[in-house]
Structure formats: C-alpha cells, structure tokens
Structure 1
Amino acid sequence: MNRKLLLLAVVATLAVAACKPQAPAEPVAPAAPAEPAAPAAPAPVAVESAPATTAADVPFDIKGFAGTFTGTLPCADCPGIDTRIMLDADGSYTLHEVYQGKGNEFDGEGTWTAQENGKRIRLDPNSKSQQDRLYAVTSSDQIDALDSAGMPIESTHSTTLKREAAKQ
C-alpha cells in the first residue's frame, strides 16, 4: 500500500512539474536568415471608422417622418393649388388638391419612398397615367416641390408644404 501511495505521489509531482513553465537557462539569440528576404509589400493599416455623426450617416427614419403636409403650390392658369399630402408610416400616401378659382379637385394615392438618404421623397402614384412627384426635404417639418427632373421649381410663388400639427 505504501508503494502505491509513493508511486501516486511521484506521478502527481511529475505532472505538476510538467505544467510549470521553464525559464530558459540562457537567452536565446534569434537565428540569422540564410538568404536576404525580398522586400515585402507594406502591411495594410487598419483604420477604425468614426461613429455616425452627420445627418448623412444616419439612416432616414421613414416612420418618424410620416405625417401630413399642406400648402399652396404654384398653378399655371389659376391663383394656386391647395395641396394636402398624407405620408403614412407604411409607405403609402394620399393626395388631395384643389385648384383655386376653378373648383376642380383631384385625389390620388400611391406609395412614397425616401431617396438620397432622406434628402428628397418620391411619390409614386398607383395610376400609371400620372407622373411621379418629387419633393426636397428641407427640414423635418417642410418639403419643397421639385420639377420632374428633381430640380427646384423656378417660381415667384411658394413651392413649400409644411407639416400639420398632429391631432390629439
């Protein structure tokens, strides 16, 4: 029995000694290369990206931008077009226009999307006989009508639609 305990103690001591790191007796000098190495390409430098801090870096919040925008847009043959656009959070819209002095009314609906990371929105009507409409997003409470090429409309009249206050 004593032999078994002695053998167990020796094995345990060897196992513990094998796990301990051994310090080198002498410092080891690095070996010199046998042949000169060819010049290596510069190592790539890791660049840490900066956090999103500008409005262009932050994704446009369609649900947060949804709302109703109203105003009077220029008209070629009347005093103006009273316009109301309701942008829904699900990406749909409804449009109601009244041509001042003519009594003509127009209703439309379709889908709207944000473009250029929220710098403008596009109204895509369900009726394909109508053209898409573009609006510049000038603030969270204002959009400005653009022409079919996406350029500002040149007019002495306002092209601005403003957000209606939310009903409570």
Structure 2
Amino acid sequence: MKKIIIALGLSLSLFSLFGCHNKIFAHEQPFEAMQQSYRGILPCADCDGIETSLFLQQDGSYVLREVYRVKAEDNQAFAQYGTWARTADKLVLTQANGEKRYFHPTGKNFEMLDINGDPIHSPAHTKVNYLLKPTEQRMPHTPMPLSGMVRYQADNVVFTDCTTGKVIPMATSKLLEKAYMDIRHSTDQLVFVSMDGHFQVEPGGVEGKGQKLLIADSHISVDASKHCK
C-alpha cells in the first residue's frame, strides 16, 4: 500500500464508517470505505506480545498480519485474508475458513473483543492494551493461504478469489503458469488453484488509489476438477 489516508482523511473516513448518519444494521453488512490500516501490540499468553497490523481495503477484504515476539531472532509471522463487515457496534473479520474476529470502534482506534464479540475483562490490578491504532504502513509480504480460480488471457493472469469473489490481477509466476498450462483443457479455461501468496498495491487504479496485485509465493497446487464453494 503506497499511500494511506491520515489525519483529516482518517477522521472523515472513520466517521463515514461508524458515523451517526449511517443506517444502523442489526446484522453484518458489507461496507465500502477508504483503505485504512491499523497497528498495535496485543497481549500474548506465551510470548512478549503480538505485533498486529490490520489492513481494511475498499473492496471489502482485509489482511491481518501477526508477529509473535518470541525472541528477537526467532519471531514468528503469520498472515490471514478474508472479508470485513460491520454490525451496529462492531467490526467483524471473517477469515477464509469462516472463523471470525471482533473489534469495537473506540474513537479512531479499534479495541479487540473476545471470540464471542464481547469485551475482554482484565484483572483490575493489570493494565492490558487491546487497541489497534491508525497508522501508515505498507501491505505486508507475509505469505498467507489463498484459493481461487485462475485464468490466463494472452499475457494477463487473473485470479477470482473464492473468499470474496473479487477478480484480482496476478503477477507473472513461472511455476503457476507451467502448472496451469499442463492441466488446462482449453484456451482461457478457469482452473482452481490453492497457494500461499500475498498482495501488493501498485500505482494507478481508480482515482490513483492504487491497484491490488496478487503475488504467488509457494505451495502452488492446481486442480481442473475443483471450483470455489
């Protein structure tokens, strides 16, 4: 992500996201908003904290990166991808496997909730920070599990994501291209692919806000008999 809206832009976009002039829904509703990113260090039971970066994207998808502080030379990084939506007072992240995580808007920040979407109560004598705060940061390159339908059209590769249904352009990958060409039965055929990959935002796109590009990293597997559920 090349450019993140800060200061006034964040205030305005967050107001539109949770402001009083929006209709309040009792159930989850997709919501189009400006690209935003948040960061914080969340508590960890068996490590020194979890460096958490959350990216909310205009197309209703999110990327969440977590770095477990084990030792300086042995930190463990993980990333996940899915869709985000809102209820009357919550931000709901739904991972590709259906698992949900919940946050509550607190001013410009988001406060992490428990697995049921309820506030986390800490002992009175402890001070635990569950906040993610708006910040400017680039989209992470940490690989994460992704699955969708791939189609090669001339020199272009497009990926239809199983989680969001969004069509995303892909960067060239020799491994993916060979696997696709070996298994396809006809020109421009849609082929199911699962892989570990990451997104990056390239210059351009609508109104110069950047264009999301998918990078295939590893564990590429294709199957012409499968489709998105």
TM-fit CA distance, 1:67? 0.6
Contact 2:67 2:76 in 1 (8 A): yes
What secondary structure does 2:32 align onto? helix
1:160 paired with 2:128, answer no
1:142 paired with 2:112, answer no
Q: Which has the higher strand share?
A: 2
Q: Which sections of structure 2, spanning at least 5 residues, go unmatched?
A: 1-18, 25-29, 139-208, 210-229
Q: Distance in 2 between matches of 1:92 and 1:76?
A: 28
1:122 paired with 2:122, answer no
- Provide runs of 4+ in structure 1 moved above 4 Å: none
Range with bigger deviation, 146-155 or 90-99: 146-155
Q: Distance in 2 between matches of 1:96 and 1:163?
A: 15
Q: Who is 1:70 aligned against?
A: 39
Contact 2:104 2:110 in 1 (8 A): yes
Query: Aligned letter for 1:127?
Result: N
TM-fit CA distance, 1:65? 5.6
Q: Provide, for residues 51-95 of structure 1, a one-character-per-residue CA deviation record: whole Å limited to 9, x for no partner.
A: xxxx44523794336410100011111121000010101110011
Q: Who is 1:92 aligned against?
A: 61
TM-fit CA distance, 1:154? 2.4
Q: Which sections of structure 1, spanning at least 5 residues, go unmatched?
A: 1-54
Distance 1:165 1:105, change over 3 A: closer
What is the aligned length? 109
The sequence identity of aligned pairs, in percent, is 32
Query: Aligned letter for 1:58?
Result: N
Contact 2:33 2:57 in 1 (8 A): no
TM-score normalised over the length of structure 1: 0.57
User: Equivalences for 1:38-53 in 2 at 5 Å?
Assistant: none
Q: Who is 2:76 aligned against?
A: 104
Q: Distance in 2 between matches of 1:65 and 1:146?
A: 23
Question: RMSD of the alignment, in Å?
Answer: 2.5
Q: Distance in 2 between matches of 1:132 and 1:112?
A: 9
TM-score normalised over the length of structure 2: 0.43
Q: Distance in 2 between matches of 1:105 and 1:157?
A: 22
